[in-house]
Structure 1
Amino acid sequence: MSPLADDAPPPTAGSDPNAVQKVCAVLRALAAPAPRRLTDLSAETGLHKVTVLRILDTLAQEGFAVRAADGRRWRPGPELMALAASAGRPDDLRALARPSLMRLAELSGDTVLLSVRSGVEAVCVEREVGSYPIRANYLDIGSRRPLGVGAGAMALLAWLPDREIDAILGIVVQRLGPYPRLGRAEIRAGITEARTRGHVVLLDQVVDTMGAIGVPVRDETGRTVAALSLAALTTRIRAREAELAEALRREADLMERERIPAGRGGVG
Protein backbone atom coordinates (compact mmCIF):
# COMPACT_ATOMS: atom_id res chain seq x y z
CA MET A 1 0.00 0.00 0.00
CA SER A 2 1.21 3.51 -0.79
CA PRO A 3 2.37 5.44 2.26
CA LEU A 4 -0.11 8.12 1.24
CA ALA A 5 -2.98 5.78 0.45
CA ASP A 6 -5.21 7.43 3.04
CA ASP A 7 -4.87 10.82 1.38
CA ALA A 8 -7.72 12.22 -0.64
CA PRO A 9 -7.61 12.73 -4.43
CA PRO A 10 -6.16 16.02 -5.70
CA PRO A 11 -8.19 18.79 -4.06
CA THR A 12 -9.92 21.78 -5.51
CA ALA A 13 -8.62 25.24 -4.72
CA GLY A 14 -8.93 26.06 -1.02
CA SER A 15 -9.28 22.45 0.14
CA ASP A 16 -6.79 20.28 2.00
CA PRO A 17 -3.37 19.71 0.39
CA ASN A 18 -2.97 16.69 -1.87
CA ALA A 19 -0.35 13.97 -1.48
CA VAL A 20 2.36 15.75 -3.45
CA GLN A 21 1.81 18.99 -1.56
CA LYS A 22 2.15 17.11 1.72
CA VAL A 23 5.48 15.63 0.64
CA CYS A 24 6.68 19.07 -0.45
CA ALA A 25 5.67 20.53 2.93
CA VAL A 26 7.67 17.85 4.77
CA LEU A 27 10.71 18.42 2.55
CA ARG A 28 10.59 22.17 3.20
CA ALA A 29 10.37 21.62 6.95
CA LEU A 30 13.14 19.02 6.79
CA ALA A 31 15.49 21.55 5.17
CA ALA A 32 16.03 23.44 8.44
CA PRO A 33 19.63 23.84 9.66
CA ALA A 34 19.24 21.34 12.53
CA PRO A 35 17.61 17.87 12.55
CA ARG A 36 13.89 18.00 13.33
CA ARG A 37 11.71 15.92 15.62
CA LEU A 38 8.55 14.31 14.30
CA THR A 39 6.52 16.59 16.58
CA ASP A 40 8.21 19.69 15.11
CA LEU A 41 7.65 18.53 11.53
CA SER A 42 4.01 17.79 12.26
CA ALA A 43 3.45 21.21 13.85
CA GLU A 44 5.21 23.08 11.06
CA THR A 45 3.44 21.30 8.21
CA GLY A 46 0.04 21.07 9.87
CA LEU A 47 -0.07 17.35 9.08
CA HIS A 48 -0.89 14.51 11.49
CA LYS A 49 2.18 12.82 12.93
CA VAL A 50 1.15 9.48 11.42
CA THR A 51 1.04 11.03 7.95
CA VAL A 52 4.38 12.78 8.46
CA LEU A 53 6.00 9.56 9.65
CA ARG A 54 4.76 7.63 6.62
CA ILE A 55 6.14 10.33 4.32
CA LEU A 56 9.47 10.29 6.15
CA ASP A 57 9.72 6.51 5.94
CA THR A 58 9.19 6.65 2.17
CA LEU A 59 11.65 9.53 1.78
CA ALA A 60 14.17 7.52 3.79
CA GLN A 61 13.71 4.49 1.52
CA GLU A 62 14.45 6.72 -1.48
CA GLY A 63 17.42 8.44 0.19
CA PHE A 64 15.80 11.85 0.64
CA ALA A 65 15.66 11.70 4.45
CA VAL A 66 17.63 9.96 7.21
CA ARG A 67 17.26 9.61 10.94
CA ALA A 68 19.74 11.59 13.03
CA ALA A 69 22.15 9.78 15.34
CA ASP A 70 19.74 9.98 18.30
CA GLY A 71 17.10 8.07 16.30
CA ARG A 72 14.38 10.58 17.22
CA ARG A 73 15.10 13.38 14.77
CA TRP A 74 15.26 13.61 10.98
CA ARG A 75 17.54 15.41 8.56
CA PRO A 76 17.93 15.62 4.74
CA GLY A 77 19.31 12.50 3.07
CA PRO A 78 22.03 12.11 0.45
CA GLU A 79 19.66 12.29 -2.51
CA LEU A 80 18.42 15.69 -1.35
CA MET A 81 22.02 16.84 -0.93
CA ALA A 82 22.79 15.63 -4.45
CA LEU A 83 19.89 17.63 -5.85
CA ALA A 84 21.11 20.74 -4.04
CA ALA A 85 24.62 20.21 -5.38
CA SER A 86 23.37 19.72 -8.92
CA ALA A 87 21.65 23.10 -8.67
CA GLY A 88 24.98 24.77 -7.97
CA ARG A 89 25.72 25.82 -11.53
CA PRO A 90 28.08 28.74 -12.20
CA ASP A 91 25.10 30.99 -12.83
CA ASP A 92 23.38 29.92 -9.62
CA LEU A 93 22.04 32.82 -7.56
CA ARG A 94 24.20 31.98 -4.56
CA ALA A 95 27.35 31.87 -6.64
CA LEU A 96 26.36 35.15 -8.24
CA ALA A 97 25.87 36.73 -4.81
CA ARG A 98 28.99 35.36 -3.13
CA PRO A 99 31.40 38.19 -4.15
CA SER A 100 28.81 40.77 -3.10
CA LEU A 101 28.32 39.15 0.30
CA MET A 102 32.08 39.07 0.87
CA ARG A 103 32.52 42.73 -0.08
CA LEU A 104 29.63 43.85 2.09
CA ALA A 105 30.84 41.87 5.12
CA GLU A 106 34.33 43.30 4.69
CA LEU A 107 33.02 46.85 4.33
CA SER A 108 30.61 46.72 7.25
CA GLY A 109 32.13 44.14 9.58
CA ASP A 110 28.63 42.74 10.07
CA THR A 111 26.52 39.77 8.97
CA VAL A 112 25.26 39.83 5.37
CA LEU A 113 22.48 37.56 4.10
CA LEU A 114 21.03 36.43 0.78
CA SER A 115 17.37 35.46 0.99
CA VAL A 116 14.87 34.11 -1.51
CA ARG A 117 11.14 33.57 -1.38
CA SER A 118 9.50 30.23 -0.72
CA GLY A 119 5.72 30.64 -0.80
CA VAL A 120 4.90 33.11 1.98
CA GLU A 121 8.30 32.69 3.62
CA ALA A 122 11.79 34.07 3.17
CA VAL A 123 14.62 31.52 3.24
CA CYS A 124 18.22 32.43 4.01
CA VAL A 125 20.26 30.66 1.33
CA GLU A 126 23.69 32.22 1.89
CA ARG A 127 25.46 34.14 4.66
CA GLU A 128 28.76 35.93 5.23
CA VAL A 129 29.85 36.96 8.73
CA GLY A 130 31.98 40.08 9.20
CA SER A 131 34.73 40.79 11.72
CA TYR A 132 32.78 42.86 14.28
CA PRO A 133 32.78 40.90 17.57
CA ILE A 134 29.05 41.28 18.31
CA ARG A 135 27.37 39.34 15.53
CA ALA A 136 23.82 38.82 14.37
CA ASN A 137 23.82 35.03 14.32
CA TYR A 138 20.09 34.45 14.76
CA LEU A 139 19.69 33.58 11.08
CA ASP A 140 21.60 30.71 9.49
CA ILE A 141 21.51 29.15 6.04
CA GLY A 142 18.16 27.39 5.76
CA SER A 143 16.41 29.60 8.32
CA ARG A 144 12.87 30.62 7.40
CA ARG A 145 10.69 33.56 8.36
CA PRO A 146 7.32 34.83 7.19
CA LEU A 147 7.57 37.47 4.49
CA GLY A 148 7.74 40.87 6.15
CA VAL A 149 9.57 39.62 9.27
CA GLY A 150 13.12 40.95 9.00
CA ALA A 151 14.82 43.20 6.46
CA GLY A 152 15.45 40.52 3.84
CA ALA A 153 11.93 39.14 4.21
CA MET A 154 10.49 42.65 3.94
CA ALA A 155 12.58 43.43 0.85
CA LEU A 156 11.14 40.32 -0.81
CA LEU A 157 7.62 41.47 0.04
CA ALA A 158 7.57 45.24 -0.30
CA TRP A 159 7.97 45.54 -4.07
CA LEU A 160 5.53 42.80 -5.06
CA PRO A 161 2.25 43.81 -6.73
CA ASP A 162 -0.29 45.10 -4.18
CA ARG A 163 -2.80 42.33 -4.83
CA GLU A 164 -0.15 39.72 -4.23
CA ILE A 165 0.87 41.44 -0.99
CA ASP A 166 -2.76 41.40 0.15
CA ALA A 167 -2.95 37.64 -0.41
CA ILE A 168 0.36 37.00 1.34
CA LEU A 169 -0.55 39.08 4.39
CA GLY A 170 -3.82 37.20 4.75
CA ILE A 171 -1.74 34.10 5.44
CA VAL A 172 1.28 35.63 7.19
CA VAL A 173 -0.71 37.35 9.94
CA GLN A 174 -1.63 33.89 11.25
CA ARG A 175 2.07 33.08 11.72
CA LEU A 176 3.22 36.11 13.70
CA GLY A 177 2.87 34.60 17.17
CA PRO A 178 6.65 34.44 17.75
CA TYR A 179 6.92 38.13 16.72
CA PRO A 180 4.71 40.09 19.15
CA ARG A 181 5.89 43.48 17.87
CA LEU A 182 4.70 42.76 14.35
CA GLY A 183 1.18 42.66 12.99
CA ARG A 184 -0.58 43.53 9.75
CA ALA A 185 -0.42 47.27 10.49
CA GLU A 186 3.30 47.21 11.28
CA ILE A 187 4.13 45.23 8.14
CA ARG A 188 1.98 47.57 6.02
CA ALA A 189 3.80 50.56 7.49
CA GLY A 190 7.13 48.88 6.77
CA ILE A 191 6.15 48.36 3.13
CA THR A 192 5.23 52.02 2.73
CA GLU A 193 8.45 53.19 4.37
CA ALA A 194 10.57 50.83 2.26
CA ARG A 195 9.03 52.04 -0.97
CA THR A 196 9.62 55.65 0.08
CA ARG A 197 13.24 55.10 1.08
CA GLY A 198 14.12 52.60 -1.63
CA HIS A 199 15.43 50.20 1.01
CA VAL A 200 14.21 48.45 4.16
CA VAL A 201 15.25 49.42 7.69
CA LEU A 202 13.91 47.45 10.66
CA LEU A 203 15.17 48.17 14.17
CA ASP A 204 14.40 46.20 17.36
CA GLN A 205 11.29 44.61 15.84
CA VAL A 206 12.42 41.00 15.70
CA VAL A 207 15.38 40.82 18.12
CA ASP A 208 16.07 43.32 20.91
CA THR A 209 18.94 45.77 20.23
CA MET A 210 19.40 44.32 16.74
CA GLY A 211 18.44 45.83 13.43
CA ALA A 212 18.81 45.16 9.72
CA ILE A 213 18.77 46.93 6.41
CA GLY A 214 17.87 45.30 3.10
CA VAL A 215 17.28 45.80 -0.61
CA PRO A 216 15.57 43.75 -3.34
CA VAL A 217 17.39 42.04 -6.19
CA ARG A 218 15.37 41.92 -9.41
CA ASP A 219 15.44 39.84 -12.57
CA GLU A 220 15.39 41.25 -16.10
CA THR A 221 11.61 41.76 -15.93
CA GLY A 222 11.90 43.86 -12.78
CA ARG A 223 10.40 41.25 -10.48
CA THR A 224 12.00 40.75 -7.06
CA VAL A 225 13.74 37.36 -6.92
CA ALA A 226 16.07 37.77 -3.94
CA ALA A 227 17.11 40.15 -1.19
CA LEU A 228 20.44 41.32 0.16
CA SER A 229 20.35 42.33 3.82
CA LEU A 230 22.77 43.28 6.54
CA ALA A 231 22.10 42.58 10.23
CA ALA A 232 23.89 44.35 13.07
CA LEU A 233 23.42 46.13 16.37
CA THR A 234 20.71 48.76 16.08
CA THR A 235 23.20 51.49 16.98
CA ARG A 236 25.47 50.41 14.12
CA ILE A 237 22.59 50.47 11.63
CA ARG A 238 21.41 53.92 12.76
CA ALA A 239 24.88 55.42 12.53
CA ARG A 240 25.51 54.17 8.99
CA GLU A 241 22.10 53.78 7.33
CA ALA A 242 22.85 55.88 4.23
CA GLU A 243 26.27 54.30 3.71
CA LEU A 244 25.00 50.74 4.14
CA ALA A 245 21.95 51.29 1.96
CA GLU A 246 24.14 52.66 -0.82
CA ALA A 247 26.53 49.69 -0.56
CA LEU A 248 23.69 47.15 -0.60
CA ARG A 249 22.03 48.83 -3.58
CA ARG A 250 25.34 48.94 -5.45
CA GLU A 251 25.85 45.21 -4.98
CA ALA A 252 22.25 44.41 -5.91
CA ASP A 253 22.66 46.49 -9.09
CA LEU A 254 25.84 44.60 -9.89
CA MET A 255 24.07 41.25 -9.48
CA GLU A 256 21.27 42.44 -11.73
CA ARG A 257 23.73 43.55 -14.41
CA GLU A 258 25.52 40.17 -14.30
CA ARG A 259 22.24 39.13 -15.34
CA ILE A 260 19.63 37.29 -13.34
CA PRO A 261 17.34 35.67 -15.95
CA ALA A 262 13.60 35.95 -15.47
CA GLY A 263 12.32 33.23 -13.17
CA ARG A 264 15.64 32.67 -11.35
CA GLY A 265 15.34 32.80 -7.58
CA GLY A 266 12.96 31.34 -5.06
CA VAL A 267 12.78 27.81 -3.75
CA GLY A 268 9.14 27.02 -3.97
Structure 2
Amino acid sequence: MLQATSMLERSMAETEGNTQNVRAVTRALAVLNSFAGKGVQSLAEVTHATGLDKGTTRRLLLTLMNSGFIAQDPVSQHYRLGRAVRDLVANVADERDLRSIAQPVLTDLAGELHGTAFLSVYDGGDVVCLDRIHDMKGIEVHWWAVGGALPYNCGGAPKLLLAFQPEEEIERVLLRPTTELTPKSITNVDELRQSLARIRERGWELAVDDVALGLSALAVPVRGPQGDVVCAISIAGLTPQMVSRNRPVHLARIQRAAAAIERRLGTPVRRERVAP
Protein backbone atom coordinates (compact mmCIF):
# COMPACT_ATOMS: atom_id res chain seq x y z
CA MET A 1 0.00 0.00 0.00
CA LEU A 2 2.80 2.42 0.90
CA GLN A 3 4.64 1.53 -2.28
CA ALA A 4 1.54 2.12 -4.38
CA THR A 5 0.97 5.47 -2.68
CA SER A 6 4.55 6.63 -3.26
CA MET A 7 4.32 5.62 -6.92
CA LEU A 8 1.14 7.68 -7.31
CA GLU A 9 2.75 10.70 -5.62
CA ARG A 10 5.89 10.37 -7.77
CA SER A 11 3.82 10.07 -10.94
CA MET A 12 1.80 13.15 -10.02
CA ALA A 13 4.94 15.13 -9.28
CA GLU A 14 6.42 14.20 -12.63
CA THR A 15 3.30 15.10 -14.58
CA GLU A 16 2.86 18.40 -12.73
CA GLY A 17 6.43 19.24 -13.69
CA ASN A 18 5.56 18.89 -17.36
CA THR A 19 4.57 22.32 -18.68
CA GLN A 20 2.14 20.68 -21.12
CA ASN A 21 -0.08 19.47 -18.25
CA VAL A 22 -2.79 21.45 -16.45
CA ARG A 23 -2.24 21.05 -12.70
CA ALA A 24 -5.94 20.92 -11.76
CA VAL A 25 -6.56 18.16 -14.32
CA THR A 26 -3.51 16.23 -13.17
CA ARG A 27 -4.68 16.38 -9.57
CA ALA A 28 -8.23 15.35 -10.49
CA LEU A 29 -6.83 12.34 -12.37
CA ALA A 30 -4.71 11.49 -9.32
CA VAL A 31 -7.88 11.44 -7.23
CA LEU A 32 -9.58 9.11 -9.72
CA ASN A 33 -6.50 6.87 -9.96
CA SER A 34 -6.40 6.55 -6.18
CA PHE A 35 -9.52 4.36 -6.41
CA ALA A 36 -7.71 1.68 -8.43
CA GLY A 37 -8.34 -1.64 -6.70
CA LYS A 38 -10.58 -0.05 -4.05
CA GLY A 39 -14.36 0.02 -3.77
CA VAL A 40 -14.69 3.00 -1.44
CA GLN A 41 -12.39 5.47 0.33
CA SER A 42 -12.74 8.06 3.05
CA LEU A 43 -11.55 11.64 2.56
CA ALA A 44 -8.49 10.84 4.68
CA GLU A 45 -7.64 7.82 2.53
CA VAL A 46 -7.89 9.78 -0.72
CA THR A 47 -5.79 12.58 0.81
CA HIS A 48 -3.12 10.09 1.89
CA ALA A 49 -3.12 8.28 -1.46
CA THR A 50 -2.70 11.45 -3.54
CA GLY A 51 -0.42 13.39 -1.21
CA LEU A 52 -2.67 16.44 -1.55
CA ASP A 53 -3.88 18.49 1.41
CA LYS A 54 -7.35 17.78 2.78
CA GLY A 55 -8.93 21.02 1.52
CA THR A 56 -7.72 20.51 -2.05
CA THR A 57 -8.80 16.87 -1.99
CA ARG A 58 -12.28 17.77 -0.74
CA ARG A 59 -12.73 20.41 -3.45
CA LEU A 60 -11.61 17.98 -6.15
CA LEU A 61 -13.97 15.29 -4.86
CA LEU A 62 -16.89 17.74 -4.83
CA THR A 63 -16.08 18.87 -8.38
CA LEU A 64 -15.89 15.27 -9.58
CA MET A 65 -19.15 14.49 -7.77
CA ASN A 66 -20.87 17.35 -9.58
CA SER A 67 -19.71 15.82 -12.87
CA GLY A 68 -20.79 12.30 -11.93
CA PHE A 69 -17.27 10.85 -11.79
CA ILE A 70 -17.38 10.41 -8.02
CA ALA A 71 -20.32 9.37 -5.83
CA GLN A 72 -20.69 9.51 -2.05
CA ASP A 73 -22.32 6.86 0.10
CA PRO A 74 -25.07 8.66 2.10
CA VAL A 75 -24.58 6.38 5.12
CA SER A 76 -20.80 6.06 5.52
CA GLN A 77 -19.94 9.34 3.73
CA HIS A 78 -17.19 7.45 1.91
CA TYR A 79 -16.47 8.04 -1.75
CA ARG A 80 -16.50 5.72 -4.76
CA LEU A 81 -16.27 6.01 -8.52
CA GLY A 82 -19.47 7.38 -10.07
CA ARG A 83 -21.70 6.50 -12.95
CA ALA A 84 -19.85 8.72 -15.44
CA VAL A 85 -16.82 6.46 -15.08
CA ARG A 86 -18.97 3.38 -15.65
CA ASP A 87 -20.51 4.94 -18.76
CA LEU A 88 -17.03 5.45 -20.19
CA VAL A 89 -15.83 2.01 -19.17
CA ALA A 90 -18.79 0.41 -20.94
CA ASN A 91 -17.22 1.50 -24.23
CA VAL A 92 -13.68 0.37 -23.44
CA ALA A 93 -12.45 -3.16 -24.09
CA ASP A 94 -10.41 -4.69 -21.28
CA GLU A 95 -8.00 -7.62 -21.61
CA ARG A 96 -10.80 -10.12 -22.01
CA ASP A 97 -13.43 -7.72 -23.39
CA LEU A 98 -16.38 -9.38 -21.67
CA ARG A 99 -18.88 -7.83 -24.05
CA SER A 100 -17.23 -9.28 -27.16
CA ILE A 101 -16.80 -12.67 -25.51
CA ALA A 102 -20.35 -12.89 -24.19
CA GLN A 103 -22.27 -11.27 -27.03
CA PRO A 104 -22.57 -14.29 -29.37
CA VAL A 105 -23.69 -16.48 -26.48
CA LEU A 106 -26.24 -13.92 -25.28
CA THR A 107 -27.54 -13.46 -28.84
CA ASP A 108 -28.18 -17.20 -29.14
CA LEU A 109 -29.78 -17.27 -25.68
CA ALA A 110 -32.13 -14.36 -26.39
CA GLY A 111 -33.06 -15.79 -29.79
CA GLU A 112 -33.82 -19.25 -28.46
CA LEU A 113 -35.83 -18.11 -25.43
CA HIS A 114 -37.43 -15.07 -27.12
CA GLY A 115 -36.47 -12.79 -24.25
CA THR A 116 -33.95 -10.12 -23.33
CA ALA A 117 -30.49 -11.28 -22.22
CA PHE A 118 -28.22 -9.17 -20.02
CA LEU A 119 -24.52 -9.13 -19.14
CA SER A 120 -23.68 -7.35 -15.89
CA VAL A 121 -20.82 -6.75 -13.44
CA TYR A 122 -20.53 -5.80 -9.78
CA ASP A 123 -19.19 -2.32 -9.06
CA GLY A 124 -18.82 -1.29 -5.42
CA GLY A 125 -22.39 -1.98 -4.38
CA ASP A 126 -23.99 -1.34 -7.75
CA VAL A 127 -24.54 -3.85 -10.53
CA VAL A 128 -23.98 -2.32 -13.96
CA CYS A 129 -25.39 -3.57 -17.25
CA LEU A 130 -22.60 -4.08 -19.81
CA ASP A 131 -24.77 -5.42 -22.60
CA ARG A 132 -28.41 -6.09 -23.44
CA ILE A 133 -29.51 -8.36 -26.29
CA HIS A 134 -33.14 -8.54 -27.38
CA ASP A 135 -34.84 -11.06 -29.63
CA MET A 136 -37.17 -9.31 -32.04
CA LYS A 137 -39.79 -12.08 -31.77
CA GLY A 138 -40.22 -11.73 -28.01
CA ILE A 139 -41.01 -9.04 -25.47
CA GLU A 140 -38.30 -6.41 -25.10
CA VAL A 141 -37.35 -5.56 -21.53
CA HIS A 142 -36.36 -1.88 -21.33
CA TRP A 143 -35.89 -1.33 -17.62
CA TRP A 144 -32.11 -1.88 -17.55
CA ALA A 145 -30.12 0.16 -20.06
CA VAL A 146 -26.49 -0.48 -20.99
CA GLY A 147 -24.35 1.47 -18.51
CA GLY A 148 -27.22 1.72 -16.04
CA ALA A 149 -27.42 0.25 -12.54
CA LEU A 150 -30.24 -1.41 -10.63
CA PRO A 151 -30.79 -1.21 -6.84
CA TYR A 152 -28.84 -3.94 -5.08
CA ASN A 153 -32.00 -5.48 -3.61
CA CYS A 154 -33.98 -5.75 -6.86
CA GLY A 155 -33.58 -7.96 -9.91
CA GLY A 156 -31.88 -11.28 -10.51
CA ALA A 157 -28.34 -10.17 -11.36
CA PRO A 158 -27.96 -7.49 -8.62
CA LYS A 159 -28.86 -9.91 -5.84
CA LEU A 160 -26.84 -12.73 -7.39
CA LEU A 161 -23.65 -10.70 -7.76
CA LEU A 162 -23.98 -9.21 -4.29
CA ALA A 163 -24.43 -12.73 -2.86
CA PHE A 164 -21.00 -13.76 -4.15
CA GLN A 165 -19.14 -10.82 -2.60
CA PRO A 166 -17.05 -11.18 0.58
CA GLU A 167 -19.07 -11.06 3.80
CA GLU A 168 -17.70 -7.65 4.82
CA GLU A 169 -18.66 -6.19 1.45
CA ILE A 170 -22.19 -7.58 1.74
CA GLU A 171 -22.61 -6.07 5.20
CA ARG A 172 -21.28 -2.72 3.97
CA VAL A 173 -23.80 -2.66 1.13
CA LEU A 174 -26.66 -3.71 3.40
CA LEU A 175 -26.14 -0.49 5.34
CA ARG A 176 -27.38 1.41 2.30
CA PRO A 177 -31.11 2.10 1.97
CA THR A 178 -33.12 -0.47 0.02
CA THR A 179 -35.42 0.47 -2.85
CA GLU A 180 -39.00 -0.66 -3.34
CA LEU A 181 -39.61 -0.79 -7.08
CA THR A 182 -42.69 -3.00 -6.67
CA PRO A 183 -44.53 -4.58 -3.71
CA LYS A 184 -42.48 -7.74 -4.46
CA SER A 185 -39.12 -6.01 -3.82
CA ILE A 186 -37.31 -7.30 -0.72
CA THR A 187 -36.72 -4.27 1.49
CA ASN A 188 -36.21 -5.94 4.87
CA VAL A 189 -32.45 -6.30 5.43
CA ASP A 190 -32.68 -9.50 7.47
CA GLU A 191 -34.88 -11.12 4.84
CA LEU A 192 -32.51 -9.96 2.13
CA ARG A 193 -29.50 -11.36 4.00
CA GLN A 194 -31.23 -14.76 4.16
CA SER A 195 -32.06 -14.56 0.46
CA LEU A 196 -28.41 -13.87 -0.40
CA ALA A 197 -27.36 -16.96 1.58
CA ARG A 198 -29.82 -19.11 -0.41
CA ILE A 199 -28.51 -17.67 -3.68
CA ARG A 200 -24.92 -18.55 -2.74
CA GLU A 201 -25.98 -22.08 -1.87
CA ARG A 202 -27.92 -22.84 -5.05
CA GLY A 203 -25.87 -20.72 -7.48
CA TRP A 204 -28.69 -18.85 -9.24
CA GLU A 205 -31.43 -16.31 -8.60
CA LEU A 206 -34.96 -16.05 -9.94
CA ALA A 207 -36.38 -12.57 -9.31
CA VAL A 208 -40.15 -12.53 -9.77
CA ASP A 209 -41.98 -9.24 -10.29
CA ASP A 210 -39.56 -7.26 -8.06
CA VAL A 211 -38.41 -4.75 -10.69
CA ALA A 212 -41.60 -4.55 -12.75
CA LEU A 213 -44.85 -6.40 -12.13
CA GLY A 214 -45.39 -9.11 -14.69
CA LEU A 215 -41.69 -9.49 -15.52
CA SER A 216 -39.15 -11.89 -14.03
CA ALA A 217 -35.42 -12.44 -14.47
CA LEU A 218 -33.23 -15.51 -14.02
CA ALA A 219 -29.52 -14.89 -13.35
CA VAL A 220 -26.47 -17.15 -13.01
CA PRO A 221 -22.82 -16.32 -12.32
CA VAL A 222 -19.93 -16.54 -14.77
CA ARG A 223 -16.60 -17.48 -13.22
CA GLY A 224 -13.14 -16.55 -14.43
CA PRO A 225 -10.07 -18.80 -14.72
CA GLN A 226 -9.27 -18.29 -11.02
CA GLY A 227 -12.75 -19.39 -9.95
CA ASP A 228 -13.96 -15.91 -8.98
CA VAL A 229 -17.31 -14.58 -10.20
CA VAL A 230 -16.46 -12.01 -12.87
CA CYS A 231 -19.95 -11.21 -14.16
CA ALA A 232 -23.50 -12.46 -14.39
CA ILE A 233 -25.77 -13.28 -17.28
CA SER A 234 -29.52 -13.12 -16.99
CA ILE A 235 -32.62 -13.56 -19.11
CA ALA A 236 -35.77 -11.54 -18.55
CA GLY A 237 -39.30 -11.97 -19.85
CA LEU A 238 -42.94 -12.28 -18.92
CA THR A 239 -43.35 -14.04 -15.59
CA PRO A 240 -45.60 -16.87 -16.93
CA GLN A 241 -42.87 -17.70 -19.47
CA MET A 242 -40.09 -17.62 -16.87
CA VAL A 243 -41.67 -19.44 -13.91
CA SER A 244 -43.51 -22.74 -13.57
CA ARG A 245 -44.62 -24.07 -10.18
CA ASN A 246 -42.32 -21.54 -8.48
CA ARG A 247 -39.28 -22.87 -10.36
CA PRO A 248 -37.20 -21.27 -13.12
CA VAL A 249 -38.14 -22.61 -16.53
CA HIS A 250 -34.87 -21.92 -18.34
CA LEU A 251 -32.25 -22.67 -15.68
CA ALA A 252 -30.45 -25.48 -17.54
CA ARG A 253 -30.28 -23.40 -20.73
CA ILE A 254 -28.86 -20.30 -19.06
CA GLN A 255 -26.35 -22.40 -17.14
CA ARG A 256 -25.14 -23.82 -20.45
CA ALA A 257 -24.78 -20.27 -21.75
CA ALA A 258 -22.71 -19.32 -18.69
CA ALA A 259 -20.52 -22.40 -19.21
CA ALA A 260 -20.00 -21.40 -22.86
CA ILE A 261 -18.78 -17.94 -21.80
CA GLU A 262 -16.52 -19.51 -19.17
CA ARG A 263 -14.93 -21.73 -21.82
CA ARG A 264 -14.24 -18.64 -23.90
CA LEU A 265 -12.61 -17.09 -20.81
CA GLY A 266 -10.47 -20.16 -20.27
CA THR A 267 -12.25 -21.20 -17.09
CA PRO A 268 -11.89 -24.88 -16.09
CA VAL A 269 -15.04 -26.95 -16.60
CA ARG A 270 -17.21 -27.30 -13.49
CA ARG A 271 -20.48 -29.04 -12.73
CA GLU A 272 -23.56 -26.85 -12.40
CA ARG A 273 -26.15 -27.05 -9.66
CA VAL A 274 -29.65 -27.52 -11.00
CA ALA A 275 -33.01 -26.52 -9.60
CA PRO A 276 -34.21 -28.82 -6.79
- SS of 1:207 mapped into structure 2: coil
| 1:26/1:45 contact within 8 Å kept | no
User: 2:165 matched to 1:160?
Assistant: yes
User: 2:255 matched to 1:249?
Assistant: yes
- SS of 2:43 mapped into structure 1: coil
Structure 1 residue 89 displacement after superposition: 5.7
Deviates further, 130-139 or 99-108: 130-139
Please show how residues 254-265 of structure 1 align to structure 2 within 5 Å. 254-259=260-265
Change (3 A) 1:185 1:237: farther
Out of 180, 186, 203, the position equivalent to 1:182 is 186
Residue 266 of structure 1: aligned partner: none
Q: Which has the larger radius of gyration?
A: 2
Out of 214, 221, 242, the position equivalent to 1:216 is 221
Which structure has more relative contact order (CA 8 Å, sep 6+)? It is 1
Structure 1 residue 160 displacement after superposition: 2.0
What is the aligned-residue RMSD (CA, Å)? 3.8
Structure 1 residue 182 displacement after superposition: 2.2
Distance 2:132 2:266 in 1: 19
Return structure 1 stretches of 4+ with deviation > 4 angstroms: 1-5, 13-27, 44-47, 177-180, 240-243
Structure 2: runs of 5+ lacking an equivalent: 1-22, 29-41, 48-53, 75-82, 268-276
User: 2:44 matched to 1:12?
Assistant: yes
Q: TM-score, normalised by structure 2?
A: 0.63
Structure 1 residue 105 displacement after superposition: 0.4
Residue 139 of structure 2: aligned partner: 134
Matched length: 211
Deviations 1:106-151 (A, max 9, x none): 1100000001112110111101002344332111111111323211
Structure 1 residue 252 displacement after superposition: 1.3
Amino acid at match of 1:257: R
| 1:219/1:260 contact within 8 Å kept | yes
Deviates further, 150-159 or 119-128: 150-159
- SS of 1:114 mapped into structure 2: strand
| 2:241/2:249 contact within 8 Å kept | no
Q: TM-score, normalised by structure 1?
A: 0.65
Identity %: 26
Residue 117 of structure 2: aligned partner: 112
Structure 1 residue 228 displacement after superposition: 0.2
| 1:94/1:125 contact within 8 Å kept | yes
Change (3 A) 1:22 1:187: farther
| 1:218/1:260 contact within 8 Å kept | no
Distance 1:152 1:23 in 2: 32
| 2:153/2:179 contact within 8 Å kept | no
Out of 110, 122, 126, the position equivalent to 1:121 is 126
